[in-house]
Amino acid sequence: VEIETMSRAGAVVAKTLALLGDLAKPGVTTAHLDEAPETYIRSEGGVPTFKGYRGFPATVCTSINEEIVHGIPSPKRRLAEGDIIGLDLGCIVEGYYADCAITLPVGPVPPRVQELLDVTRESLDKAIVQCRAGNRLGDVSHAVQSHCESHGFGVVRAFVGHGIGRALHEDPQVPNFGEAGRGPALKPGMVLAIEPMITMGSWEVRILEDRWTAVTEDGSLAAHFEDTIAITEEGPEVLTRIEPRS
């Protein structure tokens, strides 16, 4: 029943991100990207998670280029061709949370930048495959780290994924680095928000004066993808992706 409700929350965030993906074009402000989601989420019976969370002022986190996570939408910040933008969004349906993020290119980007996006997404997929009863949390973490580092990318340490359910952040923490075979055992009924944050340079981060926006210390570009995944007897069930319609 919980997973059923969480999958409804997951479908709402996935659909909202799909709408935003269509809007993220050169010339659009990040404030504009923040306009539609709250109305849409509420029309679907959900409540946005981030707005008001510890004072965060918006429904969507918009993180451009060297911004890793927690960027604040602004009417002054316009997307330019060649940018990459991370969109992070959460919602609550009947008391259950779902959390999801994607990073998109704004128009064409150089091949190595596209590779950053592709490899980060792939690392999330590889982590999801590890979400099986009998595996350990370190298997999930190691899947992200080994894939990204083998392509020469940096793995952010300062922020991690998390358990999720009746609260946005529950135990356990889900680092994007770690040793296979270590850590807590994964069990059916656990739900994890796995969120690789990967850079073209080092893993070190810094927080801007707005006290939210996390950027790479070396100014290198960063990508962030996140899904909410339930561990079931049958294996991983991704709650935050829309199944393609035939």
Place of tokens 């792939």: 122
Q: Residue 86 or 178: which CB sits closer to Mg ion? A: 86
Distance separating alpha carbons of residues 127 and 129, to the nearest angstrom: 5
Angle between helices 2-23 and 35-43 (to 10 degrees): 150
**Could you say whether residue 67 binds Mg ion (CB under 5 A)?**
no
Residue 152 Cβ, how far from Mg ion at the closest point, in Å? 25
Q: How far is the CB of 173 from Mg ion (least distance, A)?
A: 11
**Closest separation between CB of residue 27 and Mg ion, Å?**
29
CB of 144 to Mg ion, least distance (A): 14
Q: If DSSP states are collapsed to H, E and C, what string results for 28-57?
A: CEHHHHCHHHHHHHHHCCCEECCCCHHHCC
CB-wise, 122 or 226, nearer to Mg ion?
A: 226
Using the contact rule CB under 5 A, the part of the chain among 37-45, 134-142, 193-201, 231-239 near Mg ion is 193-201
Helix (H, G, I), strand (E, B) or coil at 87: strand
Instruction: Note whether 99 binds Mg ion by CB under 5 A.
Output: yes
Should residue 193 be labelled a site residue for Mg ion when binding is judged by CB under 5 A?
yes
**∠ Cα 150 153 154 (to 5°):** 115
Contact positions vs Mg ion (CB under 5 A): 99, 193
